[in-house]
Structure 1
Amino acid sequence: MKPAPALHTTAPSTPRRHRRTAGPLAAAALAALLLAGCGGQNAAKPPASEQLQGGAPAAAGAPAPTGKAPAAGDPASPADGSQSGTGTGAGGPALARSEPQKITIPSLNVSSSLETLRQNPDGTMQTPKDPALAGWYEPGPTPGSQGPAVIAGHVTWNGASAVFEKLKTMKGGDTIKVTRRDGKTVTFTVERVTEYPKAEFPTLEVYKNLDHAGLRLVTCGGSFDPKKHYYDSNVVVFARMTGAA
């Protein structure tokens, strides 16, 4: 089945040079984490009013993303993980940046190589070209480096099952393993699984700076509108690094 032509997800053949970015919240504002195609349909994306914009108003009392780097002395890491190794947690210190190659979710019987997701011209995050594969959001941290790494996948594709179809069934305590280019396999343990209406997507919570290596798995959920080819919610799995080998 022909994939959506707007996606460009070929991973680079060699590791990219490390670079400093403005931080996870700036990445959120730029990426606008919208899986407009997470239902896998080859259709026009929903009207702008229905999209989750990364710069959408935060929840009451929460600061809106500023796009500024953390202030001096702030333990938060930049989005590219260039301060990795300073964060700590149950899994030990965060690792240096290294691109992920494969994700394995034993409880779902999922094993997928990873596409590289960047940004579309309109600022939305690309979605995987192959519905059988998940994709890592390249402007953010790599899994295992300090900060919230993001891996996204389709839930269905033109009515057929896709890689993250069962993501919403994950539970706290489930494990996720990510194999990286440097040969390390990082283990993450799920803390919680939550579904959000796209209009209320918690941008700050998903992308906020962390003092450890975190992972967010994202797909679509909720009700599907067959006329618009559009799911009205997102499912997010929040996980934390608990080991590396």
Structure 2
Amino acid sequence: MTITGCSSPLAADEPPPQMTTASPPVPSPPRAATAPSAAASPPVRVSIPAIDLDESLINLGIDGDGAMEVPADYDEVGWFSGGGLPGGTGPTVIAAHVDSPTGPAIFQNLEDLVVGDLVEVQDADGRIHAYRVTEAADYPKAAFPTARVFGATARDELRLITCGGVFDRDSGHYVDNRVVYAERV
């Protein structure tokens, strides 16, 4: 799957680079990633106290190129509606931008999360689902572990995704994706 819209870091004395609308970071997710539990409902909010983040979620689908959509607004966080649901089995996938053409974006501090940090996801029924970070990893976009990130799991898990690594000014995109893995507590 491809995650589009990963922007560049800005130096104080440089103008924003020319941005493109698509990048080849992540292979397409499986079409039927997980079967949600009947009791599960869509996520509407994510809270990550360690990085002072508390944001509502928008729905993200798959774009015409088979890539997972990313939020059009750099200050929005999105849930991949083709994946799991909090409270069900399988991974709930949440994505946002690390930066924008004008500066930091909503997931700017995702790299600061460490094993044990708490992430809470509120669903549409008002239930809070608590997760603990178990791992964070950076993957070259050309070698993204699609099955590990989007594939079915036997338990309720969470994935947080943004861009990372070095910014390639020639392509207008980061070379990596950062994935934070978390398990239900």
> Please, what TM-score do these two structures have when normalized by structure 2?
0.87
| In the alignment, structure 1 residue 162 sits paired with structure 2 residue 130 | no
Aligned length: 176
Identity %: 35
> 1:35: which partner in 2?
3
1:153 to 70, 93, 96: 96
RMSD of aligned Cα (Å) = 2.0
Within 2, Cα distance between the matches of 1:186 and 1:192?
A: 18
| Distance (Å, rounded) in 2 between the aligned partners of 1:202 and 1:53 | 8
SS at match of 2:142: helix
1:74-153 equivalence runs, <5 A: 79-81=34-36, 84=37, 96-153=39-96
Larger radius of gyration: 1
Partner SS, residue 107 of structure 1: helix
Which consecutive residues of structure 2, in runs of 5 or more, have no partner in the other structure? Answer: 9-17
User: What secondary structure, in the 3-state scheme, does the structure 2 residue paired with 1:206 have?
Assistant: helix
Rounded to whole Å, the distance in 1 between the matches of 2:119 and 2:26 is 26
Counterpart residue identity of residue 20, structure 2: A
SS in 1 for 2:88: coil
Q: Secondary structure at the match of 2:71?
A: coil
Tell me by how many angstroms 1:38 deviates.
2.4
State the 1:214 CA deviation: 0.3
Which stretches of structure 1, 4 residues or more, deviate above 3 A after TM superposition? none
The question of whether the paired residues in 1 share the 8 Å contact of 2:25 and 2:144 is answered with: no
* Corresponding residue for residue 52 of structure 1: 26
Shift in Å, 1:159: 3.8
> CA offset at residue 169 of structure 1?
1.5
Q: TM-score, normalised by structure 1?
A: 0.67
Distance in 2 between the 1:214 and 1:44 partners? 30
Distance 2:63 2:150 in 1: 18
Structure 1: give runs of 5+ residues left out of the alignment: 1-31, 56-64, 70-77, 86-95
Deviation at 1:144, TM superposition (A): 2.3
8 A contact 2:130–2:184 mirrored in 1: yes
